[in-house]
């Protein structure tokens, strides 16, 4: 059974308590968003998620999207839900007020995204991709294009996509063939085919604005010859209403493993009119603005799936009667005890809980950095925030989706045979969550980005934005006798990360394959240490709250227990990752291709 209730208390903990001393300071531009206002927004978002979107999750999965006469129809209830979502202002939550947005902090926006993803991941892609597209347009398009397109997209009247992949090339975008031919009126005619286009065609909005990568006639080869264009589904009239069709057609809907209610399309562009975004041949720079925004959001998708899977597993573990507790009967009036009494079920549930709380805490830290980069008036703070975002974006995308998928699989395991059949609803989380590890750059690509670009950038400056606060925290709390084992464990894992960083830097300069071989383990190690830092902070806050007396003793005791479980049962993975990195590439690269 799909069970979900927004974890509002933990969200408030992350926003209001955990990251108050993160080095980014108070941001004056966001002062109007008081705790009461933030809490009210989160509570309303929770209602939308649980009352409007959750009931459509399984039915949308069963029905899926359909293609009829070149038009994609979303499942029953989706159009009404989207209209309610749009009218409620949820499409515009974190967008710039200049374009009709509400300008809320990313810390609030990302928590809202999590709720939407938990309730209905397929639905989340429609407004989510539009928000990503607006960031690229806002950052690189001309003032005229911004003024024309952004208000409609921010409001949700029009949606947006990103059109990168072509049938013959995936991540290697330097091979793309879509052409853009300049016209006398400063527009361009685009011709080519794109695949795997999420929300590429649907019936939720009156127009769809595609951001398309293509080549100009004089483009150099490779990624240095790619430009970015706005290509609407319908050519807008001067008053902004949709005009004639713009030569964008749907060849097919992809038959996917999951996300059945999200229309993933093969699109053909046939002399479609488009307008250049940014400079010629500099399209990747603009598109990466959208992709990096989307990568953090995809990480939140992983967290959303992981939270929904956890809650469904907890419900089942409390309801399902099977076997007796090893320490004695716990349900004497029943034929068996609920399976939540069994240690291995507890192992799975606690693992899921710790993954979710760790990801939410780390995601909150990154969201604080996003707000600081955008709104802080202190140049040093803005730079530190930008460095931290650069370092943590691949970690958030890859680690959160890995752990979310692991949570979905654990939920199926808690349900046993009932989890493997569709009626339980939890197998949908496995199917839906799997794609998040692939799109917006596979998790292996994220790991390569981390070790190949983010570590050496600016002579290692990005690392200081993370290493310095962790080091300072360890030094400041070494003398705390109650938490000495926890602080020592963090220090040990942090030391392993520092040694691994040095190892990769040393070996990678001589042999790039050594860095590549270590990349995935290094990303995991970075994420484990970052979550350990957040858990250690959480534990100290909880201890102090309990010592001072609180009406929420149950919440803070659970925080302490979850933190202790993380340090006891999950952080030891850091040692495994360190040993794998230390082992190097030898056995990984030894076999000839023919021997596989």
Name the nearest CA neighbour of 358 among 497, 522, 559, 544. 559
Distance of CA 6 to the CA centre of its chain: 17
Residue 221, C-beta contacts closer than 8 angstroms, at least 6 positions apart: 174
Burial status of residue 432 (CB atoms within 10 A of its CB: 0-12, 13-18, 19 or more): buried
- State the Cα–Cα distance between residues 15 and 107, nearest whole angstrom: 7
Residue 262, C-beta contacts closer than 8 angstroms, at least 6 positions apart: 65, 121, 122, 123, 125, 126, 198, 199
Count CB-CB contacts under 10 A for residue 144: 9
**DSSP symbols for 225-271:** GBEEEEEESEEEPTTSSEEEE-SEEEEEE---SS-TTS-EEEEEEEE
- Quote the tokens at residue 26: 């108070």
**DSSP symbols for 305-324:** HHHHHHHHHHHHHHH-B-S-
| Residues 521-555 as b or e (16 or more Cβ within 10 Å = b) | bbbbbbbbbbbbbbbbbbbbbbbebbeeeeeeeeb
Q: What's the Cα-to-Cα distance from 370 to each of 155, 295, 536, rounded to whole Å? A: 22, 13, 23
**Size of the chain, expressed as the number of residues it contains:** 596
Q: Does residue 571 sit in helix, strand or coil?
A: coil
- State the Cα–Cα distance between residues 461 and 368, nearest whole angstrom: 19
**DSSP symbols for 394-419:** HHHHHHHHHHHHHHHHHHHHHHTHHH
Q: Phi, psi (5° rounding) for residue 251?
A: -80, -35
Q: Which residues are catalytic?
A: 440
Whether the CB-CB separation of 248 and 231 falls below 8 Å is answered with: yes
Sort residue 5 into left (φ over 0), alpha (ψ -120 to 50) or beta.
beta
Distance of CA 234 to the CA centre of its chain: 30
Which residue reads 């990303």 in tokens? Answer: 523
- Quote the tokens at residue 568: 């006891």
- DSSP summary character for residue 169: B
- State the Cα–Cα distance between residues 127 and 199, nearest whole angstrom: 9
């Amino acid at each position: 059974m799909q069970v979900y209730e927004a974890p509002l208390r933990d969200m408030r903990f992350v926003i209001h308590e955990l990251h108050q001393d993160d080095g980014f300071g108070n941001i004056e531009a966001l002062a109007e968003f008081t705790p009461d206002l933030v809490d009210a927004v989160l509570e309303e978002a929770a209602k939308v998620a649980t009352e409007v979107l959750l009931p459509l999750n399984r039915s949308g999965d069963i029905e899926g999207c359909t293609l009829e006469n070149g038009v994609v129809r979303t499942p029953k209830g989706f159009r009404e839900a989207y209209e309610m979502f749009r009218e409620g202002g949820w499409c515009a939550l974190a967008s710039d007020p200049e374009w009709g947005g509400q300008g809320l902090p990313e810390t609030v926006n990302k928590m809202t995204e999590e709720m939407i993803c938990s309730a209905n991941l397929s639905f989340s892609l429609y407004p989510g991709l539009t928000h990503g597209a607006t960031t690229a347009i806002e950052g690189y398009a001309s003032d005229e294009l911004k003024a024309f397109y952004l208000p409609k997209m921010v409001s949700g009247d029009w949606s947006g996509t990103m059109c990168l992949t072509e049938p013959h090339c995936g991540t290697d975008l330097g091979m793309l063939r879509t052409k853009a031919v300049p016209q006398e009126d400063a527009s361009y005619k685009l011709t080519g085919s794109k695949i795997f286009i999420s929300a590429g065609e649907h019936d939720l909005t009156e127009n769809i604005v595609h951001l398309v990568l293509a080549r100009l006639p004089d483009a150099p080869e490779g990624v240095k010859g790619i430009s970015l264009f706005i290509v609407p589904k319908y050519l807008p009239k001067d008053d902004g209403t949709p005009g004639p069709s713009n030569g964008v057609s749907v060849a097919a809907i992809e038959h996917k493993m999951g996300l059945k209610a999200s229309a993933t399309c093969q699109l053909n562009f046939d002399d479609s009119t488009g307008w250049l975004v940014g400079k010629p041949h500099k399209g990747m720079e603009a598109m990466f603005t959208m992709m990096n925004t989307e990568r953090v959001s995809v990480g939140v998708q992983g967290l959303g799936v992981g939270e929904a899977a956890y809650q469904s597993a907890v419900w089942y573990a409390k309801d399902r009667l099977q076997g007796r507790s090893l320490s004695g009967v716990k349900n004497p009036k029943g034929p068996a005890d609920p399976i939540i009494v069994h240690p291995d079920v507890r192992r799975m549930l606690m693992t899921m809980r710790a993954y979710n709380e760790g990801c939410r805490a780390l995601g909150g830290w990154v969201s604080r950095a996003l707000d600081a980069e955008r709104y802080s008036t202190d140049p040093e703070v803005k730079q530190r925030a930008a460095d931290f975002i650069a370092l943590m974006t691949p970690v958030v995308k890859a680690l959160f989706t890995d752990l979310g998928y692991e949570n979905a699989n654990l939920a199926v395991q808690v349900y046993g045979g009932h989890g493997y059949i569709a009626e339980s609803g939890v197998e949908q989380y496995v199917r839906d969550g799997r794609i998040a590890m692939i799109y917006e750059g596979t998790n292996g690509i994220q790991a390569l980005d981390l070790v190949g670009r983010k570590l050496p950038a600016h002579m290692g400056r990005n690392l200081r934005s993370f290493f310095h606060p962790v080091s300072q925290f360890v030094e400041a709390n070494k003398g705390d006798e109650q938490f000495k084992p926890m602080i020592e464990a963090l220090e040990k894992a942090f030391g392993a990360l520092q040694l691994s960083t040095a190892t990769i830097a040393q070996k990678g300069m001589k042999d790039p394959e050594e860095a590549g071989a270590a990349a995935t383990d290094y990303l995991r190690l970075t994420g484990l240490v970052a979550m350990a830092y957040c858990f250690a902070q959480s534990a100290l806050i909880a201890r102090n709250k309990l010592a001072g007396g609180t009406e929420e003793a149950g919440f803070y005791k659970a925080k302490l227990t979850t933190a202790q479980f993380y340090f006891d049962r999950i952080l030891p993975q850091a040692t495994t990752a360190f040993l794998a990195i230390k082992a190097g590439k030898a056995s990984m690269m030894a076999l000839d291709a023919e021997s596989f």
